[in-house]
């Protein structure tokens, strides 16, 4: 999913997708360790997806904190 599409999601949806992405990455790591993973590029894709979601969640958290301090 592209970053522009992710920005349209709500905070709860982003956190839910982040948890799902972390769980999927965990499963991919197990498949890699047991030799069942055939497409190793999926590990990199999963890490980048987690990074995208975590960055977006952090940005929103900082924006909420900034709004709270101004009020």
The rounded average pLDDT for each run of 10 residues, N- to C-terminus, in the chain (71 residues) is 87 95 97 95 97 95 88 62
This prediction has a pTM of 0.88
Tell which phi-psi region holds residue 37, choosing left (phi > 0), alpha (psi between -120 and 50) or beta: beta
In order of their start, the domains of the chain are 3-70 (1.10.287.310)
Contact yes or no for 6/52 (Cβ under 8 A)? yes
């Amino acid at each position: 999913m592209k970053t522009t599409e992710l920005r349209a999601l709500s905070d709860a949806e982003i956190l839910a997708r982040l948890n799902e992405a972390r769980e999927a990455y965990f499963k991919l790591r197990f498949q890699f360790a047991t030799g069942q993973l055939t497409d190793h590029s999926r590990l990199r894709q999963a890490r980048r997806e987690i990074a995208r979601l975590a960055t977006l969640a952090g940005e929103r958290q900082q924006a909420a904190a900034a709004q709270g301090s101004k009020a």
